[in-house]
């Protein structure tokens, strides 16, 4: 973890204020009512000073001061209403901003897609979207309104104090900068501690979520106790950091209160001497003395909420990193031209990752309608990269991907993905009923269509055997179902969507031999009259393909049928194993 520099904190501060946008009127309303409450305080002090002077110094009767006494509760009430309105306006604005920023984070994460998410910690992302966004409340509801009021209200008080007593006004003017000065000095330490606290929280969230998700595996390997000790260690580190932040917060509050108290005491002593020597009337002196605490109140509040700013900046570092991450590049978008079948053409496609490592190197091949095209190759050869490019999760560095002669980069994602069914290696099952999870593919599908899709995928029998059938509730990630059942549900989604293009990422991974046979049969049914691109790791899955593209280091080193490639020396025969038939046939590219 690196400590943020002053310029970085300033940049994040500007980033936070830049989020205001259409929410600025709400904060302006809060500041306006806060300023009005400040003017009510001045009127209140004026009335109190006049009443006390009239009764104590001039011996006025009740009839004389009655109008002022009657006006005083009205001023109190008006001040209360102004302060309440300011509070509600600021917190309503902060709440709306939090919802907006959280929605932006969720939309951005969805736009970046699984290719980006797989390198992130789920726990840290959850912490950013929940706790991180919540930490912005103090910044928008407290810090920003008080920052404006800390400038406006003291000047409003000075405007009436200086004519009343020049010396007291100069003292207020001279001591006022002390509070922001010490606020900044203490805030530097608080900033580092806040940043460390958020780093610890992200680490704790990631560790805790990973532990929960892997609890079954930890139990199987008798490692749950050791992992619990690791979670406790991270939790203790977070507790220590939190207490350090609180210690600085309490220390700064005491220092700011002490400075304000000393400054008010100086004003009181000076007014006392002025009254003693008859340099100022009692009413005017009392008026100035009543306003002195109100002069420092906005500055003290600003100092108190300075930690809300530090907290928000620490959280904003991660949020800004997510929201400013560039997504897949798009140019002028056009809808995909409808067709009964689609050909996918890769033309010298290159792709490099963020670190500059080549993932695909001038890859060229075609996937044609009515055929199953399989991508085979060792780990890291670029098979998943091909699918990620087609799904729009990433963009090619160079080269062109065409869909029926239309460049994929120019297609509207919605119109393109509407024609694609994707079956990932590990299908995600959401909390809800089994029927709800199937209807994700086509929400308006009828129950009969859902049943037919399940039959085509070989899933209807096991669903029908469940006590509640299609209404069976499922847990996160398909708790209650086996791996083969989850995979058949994923295939049922593809059948239900009935898209002309099907992308399969090793759908038989992690399945036993019997279940693999059932899934292969479902894939054969799914492949009829469709363009199917299949990532295969197992020989049995590769044999489903009409054409096989063998990838190595991002290049197509062999293209042909299973029989052609298995009968000659080359990478495909090596991947099939030592029992694969060989010949001296040297041609490895079937154009």
Q: What would the DSSP string read from start to end of 37-58?
A: HHHHHHHHHHHHHHHHIIIIIS
Task: Determine phi and psi for 156, rounding to 5 degrees.
Answer: -65, -40
252 CB contacts (<8 Å, ≥6 apart)? 182, 183, 186, 187, 190, 303, 306, 307
Angle at 172 between CA 166 and CA 178, to 5 degrees: 150
Q: Rounded distance, CA 394 to CA 351, Å?
A: 9
Give the residue, 16 or 227, on which the prediction is more confident: 16
Q: Is the pLDDT of residue 330 over 60?
A: no
Mean of pLDDT values over 67-76: 90
Angle at 307 between CA 245 and CA 7, to 5 degrees: 105
Mean of the per-residue pLDDT values of the chain:
82
Q: Rounded distance, CA 127 to CA 125, Å?
A: 5
Where do runs of H (alpha helix) occur along 53-177? 62-117, 122-127, 133-134, 137-138, 144-164, 166-175
Q: Give the dihedral of Cα atoms 64, 69, 71, 77; nearest 10 deg.
A: 180
Q: Which of 513, 515, 569, 558 is nearest to 539 (CA)?
A: 513
Q: Rounded distance, CA 549 to CA 557, Å?
A: 8
Confirm if 252 and 186 have CB atoms less than 8 A apart: yes
Confirm if 387 and 460 have CB atoms less than 8 A apart: no
Residue 81 CA neighbour count, 13 Å, CB half: 7
Q: Is the pLDDT of residue 65 over 60?
A: yes
Q: Which of 25-34, 162-171, 547-556 has the highest mean pLDDT?
A: 25-34
Q: Is the pLDDT of residue 36 over 90?
A: yes
- Could you tell me the pLDDT band of residue 213, with boundaries at 50, 70 and 90? low
- Could you tell me the pLDDT band of residue 39, with boundaries at 50, 70 and 90? very high
3-state DSSP call for residue 365?
strand
Q: Is the pLDDT of residue 329 over 70?
A: no
Q: Which of 252, 213, 187, 240 is nearest to 6 (CA)?
A: 187
Confirm if 304 and 260 have CB atoms less than 8 A apart: no
Share of the chain above pLDDT 70, in %: 89
Mean of pLDDT values over 122-145: 84
Confirm if 382 and 554 have CB atoms less than 8 A apart: yes
Angle at 250 between CA 245 and CA 255, to 5 degrees: 125
Task: Determine phi and psi for 449, rounding to 5 degrees.
Answer: -65, -35
268: left (phi over 0), alpha (psi -120 to 50) or beta: alpha
3-state DSSP call for residue 364?
strand
Q: Is the pLDDT of residue 192 over 60?
A: yes
Mean of pLDDT values over 465-483: 80
pTM for this predicted structure: 0.69
Q: Rounded distance, CA 99 to CA 473, Å?
A: 29
Mean of pLDDT values over 551-575: 83
DSSP 413: H
Consecutive H or E run containing 263:
helix 224-276
pLDDT tens track for 420-447: 988 887 788 888 888 998 998 889 989 9
Q: How far out from the chain centre does Cα 148 lie?
A: 29
3-state DSSP call for residue 587?
coil
Instruction: Return the number of other C-beta atoms located less than 10 Å from residue 101's C-beta.
Output: 20
Rounded to a whole number, what is the largest CA-CA distance in the chain? 122
């Amino acid at each position: 973890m690196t400590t943020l520099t002053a310029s970085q904190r300033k940049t994040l501060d500007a980033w936070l204020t830049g989020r205001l946008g259409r929410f600025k009127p709400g904060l302006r309303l809060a500041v306006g009512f806060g300023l009005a409450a400040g003017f009510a305080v001045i009127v209140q002090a004026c009335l109190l000073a006049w009443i006390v002077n009239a009764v104590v110094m001039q011996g006025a009767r009740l009839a004389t001061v009655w109008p002022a006494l009657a006006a005083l509760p009205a001023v109190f009430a008006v001040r209360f209403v102004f302060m309440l309105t300011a509070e509600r306006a600021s917190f309503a604005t902060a709440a709306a901003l939090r919802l907006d920023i959280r929605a932006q984070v969720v939309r951005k994460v969805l736009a970046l897609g699984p290719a980006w998410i797989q390198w992130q910690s789920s726990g840290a992302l959850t912490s950013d979207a929940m706790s991180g966004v919540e930490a912005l409340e103090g910044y928008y509801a407290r810090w920003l309104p008080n920052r404006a009021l800390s400038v406006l209200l003291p000047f409003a008080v000075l405007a009436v104090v200086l004519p009343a007593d020049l010396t007291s006004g100069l003292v207020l003017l001279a001591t006022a900068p002390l509070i922001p000065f010490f606020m900044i000095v203490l805030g530097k330490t608080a900033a580092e501690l806040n940043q460390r606290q958020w780093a610890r929280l992200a680490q704790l969230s990631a560790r805790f979520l990973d532990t929960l998700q892997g609890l079954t595996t930890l139990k199987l390997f008798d490692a749950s106790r050791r992992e619990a000790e690791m979670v406790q260690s991270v939790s203790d580190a977070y507790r220590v950091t939190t207490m350090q932040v609180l210690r600085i917060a309490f220390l700064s509050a005491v220092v700011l209160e002490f400075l304000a108290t000393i400054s008010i005491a100086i004003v009181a002593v000076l007014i006392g001497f002025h009254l003693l020597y008859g340099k100022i009337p009692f009413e005017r002196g009392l008026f100035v003395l009543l306003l002195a605490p109100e002069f420092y109140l906005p500055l003290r509040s600003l100092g108190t909420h300075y930690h809300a700013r530090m907290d928000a900046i620490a959280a904003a570092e991660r949020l800004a990193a997510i929201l400013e991450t560039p997504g897949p590049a798009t140019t002028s978008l056009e809808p995909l031209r409808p067709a009964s079948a689609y050909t996918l053409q890769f033309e010298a496609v290159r792709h490099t990752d963020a670190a500059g490592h080549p993932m695909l190197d001038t890859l060229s091949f075609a996937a044609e309608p009515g055929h199953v095209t399989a991508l085979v190759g060792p780990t890291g050869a670029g098979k998943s990269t091909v699918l990620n490019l087609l799904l729009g999760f990433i963009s090619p560095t160079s080269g062109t991907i065409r869909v029926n002669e239309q460049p994929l980069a120019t297609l509207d994602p919605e119109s393109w993905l509407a024609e694609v069914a994707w079956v990932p290696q590990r299908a995600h099952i959401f909390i809800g009923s089994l029927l709800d999870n199937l209807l994700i593919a086509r929400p308006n599908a009828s129950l009969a269509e859902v049943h037919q899709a399940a039959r085509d995928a070989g899933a209807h029998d096991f669903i029908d055997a469940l006590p509640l059938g299609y209404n069976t509730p499922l847990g996160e990630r398909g708790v209650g179902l086996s791996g083969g059942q989850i995979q058949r549900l994923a295939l049922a989604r593809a059948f239900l969507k009935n898209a002309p293009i099907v992308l399969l990422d090793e759908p038989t991974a992690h399945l036993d031999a019997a279940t693999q046979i059932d899934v292969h049969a479902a894939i054969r049914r799914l492949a009829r009259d469709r363009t199917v691109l299949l990532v295969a790791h197992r020989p049995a899955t590769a044999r489903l393909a009409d054409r096989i593209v063998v990838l190595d280091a991002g290049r197509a080193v062999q293209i042909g049928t299973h029989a052609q490639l298995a009968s000659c020396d080359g990478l495909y025969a090596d991947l099939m194993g030592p029992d694969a038939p060989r010949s001296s046939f040297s041609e490895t590219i079937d154009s």
